[in-house]
Amino acid sequence: MSDNSLPTWHGTTILSVRKDADVVMIGDGQVSLGDTVVKGSAKKVRRLAKGDVLAGFAGATADAFTLFERLEAKLEQYPGQLMRACVELAKDWRTDRYLRRLEAMMLVADKDVSLILTGNGDVLEPDDGVMAIGSGGNYALAAARALVSMEGPAQDGVDAETICTRAMDIAADICVYTNANFTIEKL
């Protein structure tokens, strides 16, 4: 893997959907070591900033906890400014010698914005309010986008949480590094 390429994470799927006034983030619980499932009930999605921010990670667990702590500190420094806190974290992540070695990606969302954070310094906001990371991320992303774009009676009453759950079920059926033991957080 070259330094210019985004890493491909094995062992998790995190999905976030913003629909109407709701934001939902969901993550599977599987932790894999090579081709062995080590744990099936890990919590990879959590609340930060007194419950106002949802965050999920893909990658090395210890690295993710370091990033959660750093993001929490930035959120304290810039209360109510998720975008600013994430940009400042991304700057640190790119320039700090220790942080540059971290192998993780994050999804974060509050009531106003949803973002993907990478170690390349990216702070990306999806156009459609749907974003995913991890080994099953593309499967969950495609399924969620299809469900969000449905119109007519089939879509009536389908909320962000239902879309997340259905999309993650699809990802778990396809990706061997993703299970159906979900953690769901909603704003």
The answer to whether 49 touches 75, Cβ cutoff 8 Å, is: yes
Q: What is the torsional sign of CA 134, 139, 142, 146?
A: negative
pLDDT classification of 100: cutoffs 50, 70, 90: low
Residue 181 in this model has a pLDDT that exceeds 80: yes
pLDDT on residue 132: 97
CB hemisphere CA count around 14 (13 angstroms)? 28
Q: How far apart are CA 155 and CA 72, in angstroms?
A: 36
Query: In whole angstroms, what is the distance from residue 145 CA to residue 13 CA?
Result: 15
State the catalytic residues: 12
The alpha-carbon radius of gyration of the chain (Å, integer) is 16
- Cα 60 to Cα 172: distance, rounded to the nearest angstrom: 20
- The ranges assigned to domains in the chain are 13-175
Q: What is the 3-state secondary structure (H, E, C) of 17-69?
A: EEECCEEEEEECCCEEECCEEEECCCCCEEEEHHHCEEEEEEECHHHHHHHHH
pLDDT higher than threshold 80 for residue 168: yes
State the sign of the Cα–Cα–Cα–Cα dihedral 112, 114, 118, 124: negative
Question: Nearest to residue 132, comparing CAs of 124, 123, 141?
Answer: 141
pLDDT tens digits, one per residue of 69-86: 999 999 999 999 999 999
Q: 13-175 has which fold? A: Glutamine Phosphoribosylpyrophosphate, subunit 1, domain 1 (3.60.20)
Instruction: Tell me the per-residue pLDDT of 108-144, one tens digit each, with 9 for 90 and over.
Output: 999 999 999 987 888 999 999 999 999 999 999 999 9
Residue whose structure tokens are 């499967």: 139
The Cα–Cα gap between 10 and 179 comes to 12
